[in-house]
Amino acid sequence: MSDQTANVARAGGKRWSPILLRGLLFLILGLFVLYYTLPLFVMVVTSLKSLPEIRQGALLGLPKEIVLDAWSNAWSEACAGVTCVGLKPYFWNSVVLVVPAVIISTAIGAINGYILSMWQFKGSNIIFGLMLFGCFIPFQAVLLPMAITLGKIGIAGNVAGLVLVHVVYGIGFTTLFFRNYYVSVPIELVKAAKIDGAGFWTIFGSIILPMSAPVIVVTVIWQFTSIWNDFLFGVSFSQGDNQPITVALNNIVNSTTGVKEYNVDMASAMIAAIPTLLVYIVAGKYFIRGLAAGSVKG
């Protein structure tokens, strides 16, 4: 008898629990979505409001009237200290900094990974271990030695210096990405190509690199995001006109003359964040695919 009731209860439970669990799952996921999108939402709506409307205090309310003044202000007029040129020149500083830094660090990482996985030599694993170690050295620890090195080379305070800093710091990560991707590529490919008569660079260029699209996307996104968003290296190793957008954003938000223009601050922050958002939206699915690619047999 008790068995029977237990069975009935179990059958009932079977019918209802999946739906309940699923509902709970969606509820929790929904809360997280809200939690993460709310700041973005507040930023966007605030940047589209006029100052008087902001002063009324409805933080979450939609703007009564969409005003784009804050965006144009942030782009070309906002003041950082005494210079009032907006974010525009600094945006281009960041582009000029990020593009070569990403390309160079990704290229070096690809070659490093290719060597460390397919042309292993005595001690190559130790070198790889040391490079991995480099990923975990905090930014602050290298500031002073880096400053001295840049000074000695004579590229302190300009874009070239900052590119070098980011390339050096990024090589650890890019090497890790490429090496881990390439160890899943069968070594027979290299052997077959050697017998076909191909050398180091031909094998890399005609066989290995064309297979590398997923890991290149991952590495480019990773490097682009971390270099674009970097503040500490930017503020330490650049001056005045050469500063990247993150430093300029900080200066704009911190220089107040009388009234705090929240809408301009928000628009500035949005402008500084849009490139990384775009990169992720455009290449995001490749990012996930690339991260998973290492686990799937080529």
Partner 1 sequence: MSVLEAKNLYKNFGAVEVLKDINLSIDEGDFLVLVGPSGCGKSTLLNITAGLEDMSAGDIMIDDAVVNEVPPKDRDIAMVFQSYALYPTMTVEKNITFGMKVRKVPQALRKEALERVAGLLHIDHLLDRKPSQLSGGQRQRVAMGRALVREPRIFLFDEPLSNLDAKLRIQMRSEIKQLHQRLGTTIVYVTHDQTEAMSLATKIAVMNGGVIEQLGAPQELYDTPNSVFVADFIGSPAMNFIKGQVVDVAGNASFVSTHKGTDVRVPVGHYGFTEQPVEGQEVILGVRPEYITSNATEHQGVASMNFELTPKLMETTGFDQHVLFDFCGGEIAGRFSSKIEVVINQPQTVHIDLSTISIFDGKSERRI
Residue type, 113: G
Q: Following DSSP, what letter does each residue of 164-200 receive, concatenated?
A: HHHHHHHHHHHHHHHHHHHTTS-THHHHHHHHHT--H
Options 193, 235, 273, 283; binder of partner 1; rule CB under 8 A: 193
Q: Which is nearer to partner 1, 141 or 195 (CB)?
A: 195
CA distance 127 to 135: 13
User: Which tokens hold the place of 295?
Assistant: 């686990």
Interface of this chain with partner 1, residues 152 to 191, rule: CB under 8 A: 186, 188-189, 191
Q: Mind spelling out the 3-state secondary structure of 87-129?
A: CHHHHHHHHHHHHHHHHHHHHHHHHHHHHHHHCCCCCHHHHHH
The CB-of-215 to partner 1 minimum distance in angstroms stands at 14
The CB-of-68 to partner 1 minimum distance in angstroms stands at 46
The CB-of-19 to partner 1 minimum distance in angstroms stands at 40
Q: Is 210 in the site for partner 1 (CB under 8 A)?
A: yes
Options 44, 84, 155, 211; binder of partner 1; rule CB under 8 A: 211
Q: Which is nearer to partner 1, 61 or 186 (CB)?
A: 186
Q: Which of 218, 200, 185 is nearest to 298 (CA)?
A: 185
The CB-of-290 to partner 1 minimum distance in angstroms stands at 16
Q: Is 202 in the site for partner 1 (CB under 8 A)?
A: yes
Those residues with Cβ within 8 angstroms of residue 32's Cβ, 6 or more apart along the chain or in another chain: none
The footprint of partner 1 (CB under 8 A) covers 186, 188-189, 191-198, 202, 206-207, 210-211, 298
